[in-house]
Structure 1
Amino acid sequence: MDIQSVGASYIRAGQVLTDRSALSAVSRWTQAVSEADGVCVIHLTPGADPREVTAELRDQGLRASPNHVLRGQPLFFGGPASRPFPTPPIGFKPGRARSDVVIGLLDTGVAKHPWWSGSDWYGNLGPDEADAVEGAQAGHGTFVAGLLTRRAPGSRLRVERVLDGDGIGDEATVVRALNRMRERPPHVLNLSFGCHSFDDHPPPLLADAIAALSDTVTVACAGNTASDRPFWPAALPSAVGVAALDTAEEHRAPYSGYGTWVDACARGDWLASSFLDHGEFAGYAAWSGTSFATALVAGAIADAAREMPAKEAARRLLESDEARQIEDLGVLVPAGL
């Protein structure tokens, strides 16, 4: 599927997202329509610009967006931490802790690992939820799952694969996955991916899908953009946007997104977690990125949600008078590993 660059954002070429209410309005640009889980992907006729079609539909009061490309957010560019590195086994034992808290994990999937080999949630995963073993971000979901497991022991993960082995997905796939969650919403939702939008406004279907999970705390990464440009879905009012700090938990990691739309921050540099048992890796890795700071914040909220509703746990964490507040990075959440 072709990807079109639009400034610092990316969209699927020739595609617009909308719902059924806009089908007649968009018919003159429509070559084909694929509909599933409340989302219509309009495949445009040759020459139609997704941005121009989106603008016309929005002028009519309709919900529409180009099909933005979303990417996982480990550290991509430069420096020694821009890829995962093998690391010795980590001395963590899951123990027998049990929690009723469910954490939704939309990512590259989760691979087999000793930390959850006997868990009910992993046993229920199908082949479509397995982590990729090839690609620049193979193991991303497994790494995030390990941080969640250590930060919120006993919590159950509900996994859905929305990113490929290179960490690439799109808005249509993510919104459909979110819409499917409405029947059994998780208490906390970890989204370690995101995008800029073509016009820096929130993508409406993505915003609607997250807002509809009204009892779920959605935690999303601020992106490895080194920029204050809004990064979606982290910048949505209905999401907890998370930036990354250095190993000392003192300063912003140089790659991290920041801004008034960021709600919390946690260590993102050189974290160690579960990984693939593949190639030079024996099930463990060290990696950096806002992806992983996000998992620490999501895990902290899930751990606190053992004793109270998840929304209340998040409110107490973000509004604590005792916690350190950092300008443009929000409240500091200790790694707690």
Structure 2
Amino acid sequence: MPRVLVVDRQLSRTQQVVGADDTWRPLGDGGLLHAEVTSDRLEQFRAGGALGVDVDRTMSTAVVGAPTVEGAPMDMRGEDHPLPSLRELEPRLGGSVDDARDTGEGVLVGVVDTGMRAHPWLDGAYLASPNDFESSGTQARRQVVAASRRGDAGPDEAAAARSRRETGHGTFVTGLVLQQAPAASVWLERALDSGGNGLTSAVVEAATTLARRGVHVLNLSLGCFSDDAASKTVMRRLAEDLYRIRPDMVIVAAAGNIDGNDDPTTPQPFWPAAVEQVLAVGSVDDASSTTWSTWSNRGPWVDLAAPGHRLLSTYVTGPVALEADQPAVDYSGWARWSGTSFSTAVVSGAIARLMSARGITAHEAALALKAGELSTGRTEAEGEVPSVPVVAARSWDEHLIATG
């Protein structure tokens, strides 16, 4: 059965094994190629020493197991808040911050994620093409009705089911970035499906597009576990390619989540966060925590921690099926969710916030965070896992309480 590969064409041994095959196509503007080959052919590449050849791995949002929204750390519940009025929305751009410069104004944050949903609190703060939006449950139901009238409901029923499972992950991440830097701009590129999964090649193309557009911070609340040496080679090439396009950009990526069967004392590399050139972020439960969230991956390659437990952010309005065999739950535009995906968004927003407050570059802001700026303390060291600063998180939760 054909398997899609990602290839580093800069490795001379890989070039010798792969040869000049017209089926190999470039990804983005860098040194990666991809093609579909058989499993036997893949083994021939590796047997011949082509360590730069890797399967086109599935990347996912930083979740445990299946992309559901129930159970730790994917604990999500609607908050029953009414959506804010326009008057209540005004403080997002000024009144909710201590310093007018401390807003992320002029900073562009790129987000590679699932699709986007429109939300009143995000209006005017994000950019997304029509193809980067998720369809709503209402749209899906209309598709089913229209299809049934045509007598071909089957395929559209499947589309409706996929729509009901849409997680709103990209909308949630965007809201978290803007909580930290309310006047920043977020440009979202969709590379993951409604369940939060997508091929590395799709992530590469989306990230390359954002780098070409000149984003200052690239947020990757996604990744994959792998102990294959080829994964490290390919992921390092991905980071190098992106920095070649946009040298002054900082890539911020999730450290990944682990489930109860994993031993946190033996950290697992999660890509691309584990690449040296990428700022890797793990989770603590709250700003006063000095220990990692029980489900947060960790390792010597993790650079920062940030709160990632039951954060409040923007979400979908309408029904979402938490499980395929359970009735949908209605949400009113807000939710609480947990995961290193969201710790990552906090750090991306904090970088934007520091950039505008101090007039510094993204790399300088990242170094400042690693030196302890905007920190509430440091995590405790755990064996080979070093102590790292915990980045403070802003929240609209306080504003909602104050104006409710």
Q: Same fold (TM over 0.5)?
A: yes
* Separation in structure 1 between the aligned mates of residue 234 and residue 208 of structure 2, nearest angstrom: 10
Quote how far apart the aligned CAs of 1:229 are: 1.0
Quote how far apart the aligned CAs of 1:50 are: 3.3
Structure 2 vs 1, CA of residues 289 and 132 (structure 1 numbering), >3 Å: closer, same or farther?
A: farther
Give the match for residue 110 of structure 1. Answer: 116
Structure 2 vs 1, CA of residues 238 and 132 (structure 1 numbering), >3 Å: closer, same or farther?
A: farther
1:325 aligns with 2:364: no
Structure 2 vs 1, CA of residues 51 and 291 (structure 1 numbering), >3 Å: closer, same or farther?
A: farther
Give the match for residue 58 of structure 2. Answer: 69
Give the match for residue 192 of structure 2. Answer: 163
- Report if aligned partners of 1:103, 1:302 keep a CA contact under 8 Å in 2: yes
* Separation in structure 1 between the aligned mates of residue 36 and residue 49 of structure 2, nearest angstrom: 15
Give the match for residue 25 of structure 1. Answer: 17
Give the match for residue 315 of structure 1. Answer: 367
- Report if aligned partners of 1:189, 1:216 keep a CA contact under 8 Å in 2: yes
Structure 2 vs 1, CA of residues 75 and 37 (structure 1 numbering), >3 Å: closer, same or farther?
A: same
Amino acid at match of 1:100: G
Q: Deviations over 1:172-224 (max 9, x none)?
A: 11122233334333111110011122515643333223233231111111101
Give the match for residue 287 of structure 1. Answer: 337
* Separation in structure 2 between the aligned mates of residue 15 and residue 242 of structure 1, nearest angstrom: 29
Where does the alignment leave 5 or more consecutive residues of structure 2 unmatched? 95-102, 137-162, 320-329, 396-404
Quote how far apart the aligned CAs of 1:246 are: 1.3
* Match 1:154 to one of 179, 183, 187: 183
Give the match for residue 259 of structure 1. Answer: 299
1:86 aligns with 2:78: yes
1:95 aligns with 2:93: yes
- Report if aligned partners of 1:147, 1:299 keep a CA contact under 8 Å in 2: yes
* Separation in structure 2 between the aligned mates of residue 171 and residue 20 of structure 1, nearest angstrom: 16
Structure 2 vs 1, CA of residues 126 and 229 (structure 1 numbering), >3 Å: closer, same or farther?
A: same
1:300 aligns with 2:350: yes
Q: TM-score w.r.t. structure 1 length?
A: 0.84
The percent of aligned pairs where both chains have the same amino acid is 29
* Match 1:185 to one of 214, 221, 232: 214
- Report if aligned partners of 1:171, 1:206 keep a CA contact under 8 Å in 2: no
Larger CA Rg, structure 1 vs 2:
2
- Report if aligned partners of 1:132, 1:165 keep a CA contact under 8 Å in 2: no
Structure 2 vs 1, CA of residues 57 and 239 (structure 1 numbering), >3 Å: closer, same or farther?
A: same
Structure 2 vs 1, CA of residues 51 and 229 (structure 1 numbering), >3 Å: closer, same or farther?
A: farther
Quote how far apart the aligned CAs of 1:15 are: 2.3
Secondary structure of 1:257's match?
Answer: coil
Where does the alignment leave 5 or more consecutive residues of structure 1 unmatched? 3-12
Q: Matched residue pairs, number? A: 318
Q: TM-score w.r.t. structure 2 length?
A: 0.71
* Separation in structure 1 between the aligned mates of residue 218 and residue 373 of structure 2, nearest angstrom: 25
Structure 2 vs 1, CA of residues 202 and 19 (structure 1 numbering), >3 Å: closer, same or farther?
A: closer
- Report if aligned partners of 1:144, 1:295 keep a CA contact under 8 Å in 2: yes
